[in-house]
Amino acid sequence: MVYDSRGNLVGFDRTTVQDGKDPVREVLEVADFDAEGRSRRSETQVEDASGKYRLVATNDGYDAQGRAINATRARFAGGKVDISRDVGPARADPWGLLTFSLTDTLTTTVDAWTKYGEDFAKSSGERSRLAEWNLAHNAAGETTDGFRLTQKGVGLPGYHLVFEKTKNAFSGTAVANTGTHALEVGWDLVSKTGVYRSYREETARDRADGKGRALRQTTTRWEDGEKTVTRDLQDRVYDANGRLLETLTATANALGETHTKTIIRPIPILLTIWAERNVLNGGRLTLKA
């Protein structure tokens, strides 16, 4: 642990191990505080079950109640940055578990984020607003029952809303099963086109590695009266940072079964190659690149 002359923690290399959970290593590299010792900016390198990434947390000061103004979190990984900014203070229950939050999000490239001086309002990218209610938690504090309302394409003419009711079951720290009921509606004022979708989806994690990442899973989806089942035929392959590199899946519906192999090449070239085999077309094998 490293402290400044005012006693503020400005650096550490910390590994946290909890019963039933994977270890999390955090290295605090930057820590700035205001005159009252309240955090204004921090930069932390993190390594956990999902891989390696960098977290940057900032705010525009504090209100009279001591709550951070425009608290912003940025997650840097693989040339992409996901930024979320609080819209007002989040709410928690008497035990400190989050029950409601409203956030604006921006997904963009690191280059674009840097170009606009890390300015959330000016930076280019895909924007959305998320309202999230955590309705139930398990003994470990993970959310088991929730509801999300997402407004996509914020700033574009028209509207695009997604309503999602979710349920999660855990095995240790990993999500073992998930269930989602979703309704998606939208209207583009420029093209005069709309979208309406309603579906239900359930995912069962059949096998996981030591870091909680799915090796094999089965996803069942019901939409427009059709049932589609997608399952892994071999273990998923990840790189050292936890990014998915390779999958081989089988997707079955009323028309038959299709096998799809996806290989993701490292940046700067992203190449996807897949082989399709449709059991209804006489065993035709199609290679695409």
* Percent of the residues in the chain that have a pLDDT greater than 90, as a whole number: 47
pLDDT per residue as tens digits for the range 23-69: 889 999 999 999 999 999 999 999 987 789 999 999 988 888 788 88
- pLDDT at residue 264, as a whole number: 72
Of 217, 212, 204, 201, nearest to 176 by C-alpha is 204
212 burial type by CB count under 10 A (0-12 exposed, 13-18 middle, 19+ buried): buried
CA 185 to CA 255: how far, in whole Å? 27
Low-confidence spans in the chain with pLDDT less than 70: 19-21, 172-174, 265-289
Check whether the bond before 23 is cis (ω within 30° of 0): no
- Taken in order 227, 233, 235, 237, is the CA torsion positive or negative? negative
Of 53, 62, 70, nearest to 33 by C-alpha is 62
- pLDDT at residue 99, as a whole number: 93
- pLDDT at residue 284, as a whole number: 39
- pLDDT at residue 20, as a whole number: 63
pLDDT per residue as tens digits for the range 234-258: 999 988 777 788 999 999 998 888 9
pTM of this prediction exceeds 0.75:
no
Of 146, 214, 149, nearest to 183 by C-alpha is 149
Average pLDDT of the residues of the chain: 85
